[in-house]
Amino acid sequence: MESPSSDGEILSSAPTLRTVLGTLGPHVLHLATPAAPVEVGVGEPVLHDREEPLASVPGGILLAIGSRADAPETVATIRQAADAGYAGVVVKARGTAAIADLARASAQAGVALLLAPDELPWRHLDALLTAAAGASSPTSDTYDSVGVGDLFALANVIATSVGGAITIEDPRGQVLAYSNLPEHEIDEIRKQAILGLRTPDRPGNQDEYRRIARATGPVHFTDLGPGHTDRLAVAVRAGHQQLGVVFVLDGTPPLPDDAAAKLEEAAAVAALHLLRARRNRDPDRRNRGEALRALLDATMPAEVSAAQLNLAVDTAVAVLAIAQTDAAASRGIASARIVDLVTLHCEAWHPDAVCAVAHGVVYALVPAPAAGSTERLVRFGHEVATTVDRSAQLGIHVAVGPVAPLEQVAASRQVADRVLRAMAKRSGSAVATVEDVQVPLALLELAERGASTDEALLVPLRQLLGHDHEQGTDYAVTLLAYLGHFGEVAPAAAELNIHENTLRYRLRRLEERFGLPLHDPDARLVAWLQLRLLAQQQRLPGR
């Protein structure tokens, strides 16, 4: 929620009252003052008892609990709300005919009068308003236009794609969000589910949810009884864990023939949004993530972080550093997707696991198993990589740090970071330990220590590289291939895609021109090492 600006107005980036009403729909809130300003920014909902002082919340939505439409005190509350900068006041009609008088008083005060159904609990309305105020209007009908975790906007895009009214629920039937497109009719049961924030209990409900959970794709439900339109439903999963259910009504208009395929596609998108929404609703998970970041950076005493993580300081743990294989991808969005999927998988593997993002890398702190720690952690890393690839189509590298006590997490993280950087320099397995990348890691460390700086290069190599740069020749690439194949001409020529005699000619020329003593084994070793490091740094001409 946006905070008020200095002059009492809500910042322009806040959703407008029109947007919030459009998100919730007329079955949740009805605007009784059509001429009231609806393009104003909306602040937070405020539960208010008329016996208590009215707090000043510019742009807020006042939930006038206990106020009767035909009571003079309600008119006074509305005027106070207008003076305090509220955007709207919500009341319940409760069968009275005095709404017209209340609407006129609201219009005169310059505040919107909103009517809520009598059967809608105030706490449910508070939750719906809070969620709707955090939703946004998609800029298009594509999934890419939906902000991560914005379930109401996602529901509308799914409804547009599939062709029917949508609800997004958790596995127990609690309604998390719903679509509100005027062209899609809803039935009485759907209306009750929205007002009660969960699917009404009835015989067969649990069997239907179990059937959805067992199915490998969408399930069609017909002949559900009075008040029920036919439905199509699909489970939303990340890996093997069910996160929720997406329901679409197959009524007016009827669903198109490809609705099941589109709903299955929508479920894959919804998984990422449900993971993020669940993370945002869980303050404990956020707090543990902050404690892990402090532990990784060694900015907080291990004892303090351990207490926040509910772990003993001497607990054996390992740090897994996880990053995309494609460095050109959008790091912010991808990191958000990866951390949600990794968190889900880690918590299923061990309840005390915790994940966080730091400096564009996803870190998982995993309590190590008592026996076969490294082998089991590597297997777990492969499971994580497979899950992320299947669920988000993102290739990742998983670097497994050494097992160490919790108080040495920063050191384990440093090793995992080095392994991750070495993995980025080579193709190979998606998971690695420090033992798996000893050679590329040694080359990386040599490069970092300046072993390939211009000042450290052999004089003949400096001259050779200068000639390649100025004349466009390929002496450096030729020499690297030759030395890399232990002086064997045939495989080196094949790598360079040139004739063997051409390679021999180039070698004679570079010895004559630059005075490189290829007969000296030490000179060959240093020349190969320096050229190899330059190639790793992408500083080699012709590469």
Under CATH, what is the fold of the domain 143-277? Beta-Lactamase (3.30.450)
| Torsion angle defined by CA atoms of residues 144, 146, 150 and 151, in that order, rounded to the nearest 10 degrees | -80
Among 128, 153, 127, which Cα is nearest to 142's?
153
Query: What fold is seen in the domain 283-447?
Result: Alpha-Beta Plaits (3.30.70)
Give 209-241 pLDDT, tens digit per residue.
999 999 989 999 988 777 788 999 999 987 667
Helix, strand, coil distribution of the chain in percent, nearest 5: 50, 15, 35
CA distances 357 to 332, 361, 402, Å, are 10, 6, 19
H or E element: which one contains 530? helix 521-536
Radius of gyration of the chain (CA): 32
130 backbone φψ class: left, alpha, beta (φ>0; ψ -120 to 50):
alpha
What is the distance of C-alpha 404 from the center of its chain?
29
Question: Domain 454-536 carries which CATH code?
Answer: 1.10.10.2840
Sign, CA torsion 403/406/409/410:
negative
For residue 335, what is the enclosing H or E element? helix 331-349
Check residue 13 and give its pLDDT.
57
**Residue 42 one-letter amino acid:** V
**Are 143-277 and 283-447 in the same CATH fold?**
no
Could you read off the pLDDT of 394-434 as tens digits, one per residue? 788 999 999 988 888 999 999 999 899 888 877 678 899 98
Q: Cα(154)–Cα(229) distance, rounded to whole angstroms?
A: 22
Q: Would you kindly state where each structural domain of the chain is located, as residue ranges? A: 17-133, 143-277, 283-447, 454-536
Matching residue, tokens 């969620």: 131
Terminal Cα-to-Cα distance of the chain (whole angstroms): 51
Q: What length does the chain have?
A: 543
Q: What is the pLDDT along the chain (543 residues), one digit of tens a residue?
A: 333 333 334 334 578 888 888 888 888 888 988 888 888 888 888 888 777 788 888 888 999 888 877 788 888 899 999 999 899 999 988 776 678 888 888 999 999 999 988 888 888 888 888 877 766 666 557 777 777 678 888 899 999 999 999 999 988 888 988 998 888 888 888 888 888 888 887 777 888 899 999 998 999 998 877 778 899 999 998 766 788 999 999 988 889 999 999 999 899 888 878 877 766 556 667 778 888 888 888 888 888 888 888 888 888 899 999 988 864 344 445 666 677 778 877 877 788 888 888 877 889 998 887 656 788 889 888 988 887 887 767 788 999 999 988 888 999 999 999 899 888 877 678 899 988 887 777 767 776 665 556 666 778 888 888 888 888 888 888 998 988 888 888 998 898 889 989 888 888 888 888 888 888 787 787 788 888 878 877 777 765
Residue 12 is predicted with a pLDDT of 47
Q: Which CATH number fits domain 17-133: 3.40.50.720, 3.40.1360.10, 3.30.70.20, 3.40.1390.20?
A: 3.40.1390.20
Number of Cβ atoms within 10 Å of the Cβ of 11: 13
pLDDT of residue 454: 65
What is the DSSP code (8-state) at residue 401?
P
Burial class (CB in 10 A: 0-12, 13-18, 19+), 191: middle
Q: What is the pLDDT of residues 336-376, one digit of tens each?
A: 667 777 887 787 778 888 888 887 788 999 888 765 678 88
pLDDT of res. 4 = 36
* Contacts within 8 Å (CB) and 24+ apart, 441-450: 443/532, 443/533, 443/536, 444/418, 444/536, 445/418, 446/529, 446/533, 447/533, 447/536, 447/537
**Cis-peptide into 34, omega within 30 deg:** no
Please give the pLDDT value at position 533: 79
CB neighbourhood size of 396 (10 A): 24
Residue 37, class by beta-carbon neighbours within 10 Å (0-12 exposed, 13-18 middle, 19+ buried)?
A: middle
